[in-house]
Amino acid sequence: MCSTLPAFLTGALSVQIRADLGYSITLVGAIIGTAFAVAGLGSAPLGRVAQLLGPGRALRSGLTVTALTLVGIAVAAREPWQFVLLVGLSGLANALNQPAANLLLSNRVGKDRLGMALAVKQSGMPGSALLGGAAVPAIALTAGWRWAYVAAALLTLFAIALQPIGISDTVALATARQTAARPDMPTRLLVLYATVGLLGATTAGAMVNLLTSGATDAGMGEGLAGWLLSLGSAAGIASRLYQGWAVDTRGVLPIQRLVWLLALGSAGLVLMSAITPVTYALAVVPGFAAGWAWPGLFNLSVIRNNPSAPAAATGITQAGVYVGAGSGPVVGSVIVDQAGYRPLWILCAAGLAVGAALAVFLRTRLRADRQLAALVRQ
């Protein structure tokens, strides 16, 4: 959650930041996109770094950088280049933190509980958006938007204190050296995973970072729009936890549930395209509970198919997620500036539908590879 707070806080506080600093909505989208663009570039190499360092060392290092960037934004960010530099640096830290957290869970949690564990971990992103939405009425509209970044920095320091110290790093280092930190799956399938993640995350990036400004533009008050983002984020967290429980207890393939979630999320965004306060309120729950509830299932599927090097594998697939999360607010802001919010939500719905179709194809390729491996063993 702390790893993504610099980006999601900026999206949630966009109205206040723009009013104070005179930024355009396109510039704010570009700032947010920088965090995920940098993370996308660093994800694959830093996934291998996390595999080599071990989860504890990697998380402590990455979160320290995150805390420093939050303080920097609160104290010094005024010119656009300052915002871009600090938020971009937080994206680099995020690229290290995410695969490190995946490695920690795959090392410490049994296979029969890994779905729920990843669901809890992946609830950090909607948790970040929830806090960002709540920060609008609770902090930004009272003490000022900069104090929201100070509060986030303090929360990150608390998260650093919770990171594990001890045997997990030593074991991870020894294992990584033995396996050369290489994924088990062919690269072509990891790239296909990354493409599905890109399409899903593009919509999520646009939805999370442009929901409050879109709802305000449709006639909703600033405070209510912030709470709407928090409601959607809470629905996303609840859905992620349910999906993790379901794959652990019912034996459902995570890739299968991912297909259905992307398809349902697409339908929710079609409703949002009506652009009224009522349809925003009605669409936000299915949009978040389906369209942004898939990342835990996504990572679980990758980890199950790459037991030797989960951090290295998710570092590759997460690159697509980062690129999508970064391009969503940037491209979305341009679309809003040129054509309004309705075309944005329609295009986002189409992106989720295409992602669902690609996930179906990925499922068939995984099945074919398993059958081929079984024949080779025989």
Q: What is the pLDDT of residues 87-129, one digit of tens each?
A: 999 999 999 998 898 888 888 888 888 888 888 888 887 778 7
Give 22's DSSP letter: -
Is there a contact between 366 and 305 (Cβ–Cβ < 8 Å)?
A: yes
Q: Is the pLDDT of residue 322 over 80?
A: yes
Q: Please state the rounded mean pLDDT for residues 241-260.
A: 87
* pLDDT at residue number 64: 95
> Could you tell me the residue ranges of all domains in the chain?
2-377
* pLDDT at residue number 377: 56
* pLDDT at residue number 195: 93
Q: Please state the rounded mean pLDDT for residues 280-287.
A: 86
Query: How does pLDDT run across 360-369, given as a tens digit for each residue?
Result: 998 888 777 7
Query: How does pLDDT run across 23-38, given as a tens digit for each residue?
Result: 887 788 788 878 888 9
pLDDT band with cut points at 50, 70 and 90 for residue 351: very high
* pLDDT at residue number 34: 86
Using alpha carbons, list the distances in angstroms from residue 265 to 25, 119, 201, 261, 280: 25, 18, 12, 6, 14
Separation of first and last alpha carbons in the chain: 45
Is there a contact between 266 and 353 (Cβ–Cβ < 8 Å)?
A: yes
pLDDT band with cut points at 50, 70 and 90 for residue 40: confident
Is there a contact between 93 and 35 (Cβ–Cβ < 8 Å)?
A: no
Query: How does pLDDT run across 167-201, given as a tens digit for each residue?
Result: 455 555 555 444 446 777 788 889 999 999 999 98
Q: Where are the alpha helices (DSSP H) in the chain?
A: 5-12, 14-21, 25-53, 55-76, 80-108, 114-122, 124-135, 145-162, 167-179, 187-217, 222-250, 254-272, 277-291, 295-304, 310-339, 341-377
Indicate the average pLDDT of the chain.
Answer: 84
The pTM score is 0.76
Of 6-10, 152-156, 305-309, 335-339, the one with minimum mean pLDDT is: 305-309
Angle, helices 295-304 vs 254-272, to 10°: value is: 160
pLDDT band with cut points at 50, 70 and 90 for residue 329: confident
- Residue 108 CB neighbours (<10 A): 12
Residues 6+ apart with CB under 8 A from 13: 132, 135, 136, 140, 145, 148
Which CATH code of 3.40.50.1820, 2.40.160.20, 1.20.1250.20, 1.10.287.3510 fits the domain covering 2-377?
A: 1.20.1250.20
Q: Identity (one letter) of the amino acid at 321? A: V
* pLDDT at residue number 173: 52
Residues 6+ apart with CB under 8 A from 299: 102, 118, 122, 314, 317
